[in-house]
Structure 1
Amino acid sequence: MRILFFLFFSFSVCAQVQKGQASFYSNRLKGHRTSSGEKYNPAKFTAAHRKLPFNTWVEVYMPKTKKTTFVRIIDRGPHSRKRIIDVSRAAAKDLGLIPYGFSTVHIKTVTEKSRIDSLNAMESAEIYEFEPKSATSDSLSRNPQ
């Protein structure tokens, strides 16, 4: 019965979108061992979560900046109960989280295939930059007298 309850609880944690506060790791933790035994590297897209299994990929969306990134769970935490996830420095930079220190995020687990598909879609999307027509070039060409 305990195993059945554990499996149900684990599935329900993994299957839903969580909303809450995120923060990021301090630079002074570089090289320290995480709960999974892996060394923390601020340049990798990793994170700490209290319950998700190690090596689970998570999509993190920050509504304030409207940015999304993917992180792999390698540690337990965050230690503050007010937060639901701690992300690496690289992930925080990608989200635009660094100037804020912490912010509201939405997180959900993703499969390896859906993560790769999302990354490929983001890479192949065409980005259009809007360049306003210069008022000075228009007015100079007309040369009003």
Structure 2
Amino acid sequence: MGNESALDEVVARGGVITDRHPLDFHTLGLAGCIDRLTAPLRQHGTAVHWDTPHWGIEIPAHSAYLLYQSAREALSNALTYSDASNLTVQLAAVDHGIRLVVSDDGTGFDSELAISGRHHGYGLRLMSVAVHEAGGSVDICSSPGCGTTITVTLPLD
């Protein structure tokens, strides 16, 4: 993960991280596809740490895609707003589901204001709606000066 060719395929424009390479969950796995999205953060000096104790779990394509899109939103926000030195991505099996956690040590924000969407937070709200429609849950934990943790849990049943 994190080879030079992956850096060439991932770009950040207008605060949105985009992977120009077609998604290939079968070859790269979900973690590999998400890791490609971390390239712009690494280029900006953020150390990216992985914790993926989910090996061997079959993740349906629609769940993998939703987790990938959720990671893209969380990582785009971290790149644009957090000024983080360290970022951790965790992908783990939980009771009858899969959980994605993206956590950074950046500037943080008032998560209550962000999800109300009055001035910002539309990406987080749209992510929450999509995850809830799939039967999952989203937890956004952040406060100014204390970093951010975004947790997305989807059922696998």
TM-score relative to the length of structure 1: 0.26
The structure with the largest alpha-carbon Rg is 1
Higher relative contact order (CA 8 A, sep 6+): 1
Give me the TM-score of the superposition, normalised by structure 2.
0.24
